[in-house]
Amino acid sequence: MTDESKGPAPGEDVVRWVYSSTSPTQLAARYDFWAANYELDTERDYGRNDPQMTVPLVQKYVPSGARILDAGCGTGLVGQLMADAGYADLTGIDISTEMRAEASKKGVYRDLLHAVLGETLEFESDSFDAVTCVGVLTFGHAPASSLNEFVRVTKPGGHVIYTVRPDVRETGGFIEIEDALTAAGLWKLVEMTDEFPSLPKGLPESMLRVWVFEVTG
């Protein structure tokens, strides 16, 4: 069994190492290893920008007094930007203990809880005014079935705002679940961005879109 605490092999790209995880346990362990350097690495080496592309859409659709679930909150990059924009009622969930520990240092979340996306979330239905999920819905991380739980825990009239790569959306079951939720009258699409490179320095081929759905049922 590989000792995840030792990190990637010499010369192995840390992003590809983390994203090649094959189980929730392995994913959590790899993020635990990466947590302390995560923000420096993703900003310096990759130019990560999807939090900055997402939060303006939160501001567009979600009122300032809203209760927001930041799903896959990581070290709190999105939470910090939302707090800077005036949002004060933030709950963060993440699979990694060490990533949540880094997020707690920002002091912007009311609660930081362990959760595995794709499994049932430990919240009552209609608990939140919005759910954000940025940089998480992809292979080896959070499956398309996560969307069902996002809709369940969001109040009617609230919003689910998330990023997903177009290729992952097409091949990972996202279109089918989006369409099923729409057909069931549970949500409707209100906006999607153009594709943009989310890691322009290190992985310019990694394109994302931000999707905004309003929960209707």
The per-residue pLDDT for range 109-119, each reduced to its tens digit, is: 999 999 999 99
Q: Is 170 within the bounds of a domain?
A: yes
Q: Is 96 within the bounds of a domain?
A: yes
The CATH code of the domain that includes 144 is: 3.40.50.150
The per-residue pLDDT for range 190-214, each reduced to its tens digit, is: 999 999 999 999 889 999 999 999 9
Compute CA distances 204 → 5, 64, 198, 201, 210, whole Å.
28, 33, 7, 6, 17
pLDDT at 2: 61
pLDDT at 15: 83
Q: Is 38 within the bounds of a domain?
A: no
Domain that holds residue 173: 50-215
Q: Is 174 within the bounds of a domain?
A: yes
Q: Give this prediction's pTM.
A: 0.95
What residue ranges of the chain have pLDDT lower than 50?
A: 1
Count of C-beta atoms within a 10 Å radius of residue 111: 10
pLDDT at 143: 96
Q: Is 27 within the bounds of a domain?
A: no
Q: Is 29 within the bounds of a domain?
A: no
Q: Is 122 within the bounds of a domain?
A: yes
Q: Is 7 within the bounds of a domain?
A: no
* Number of structural domains found in the chain: 1
pLDDT at 5: 78
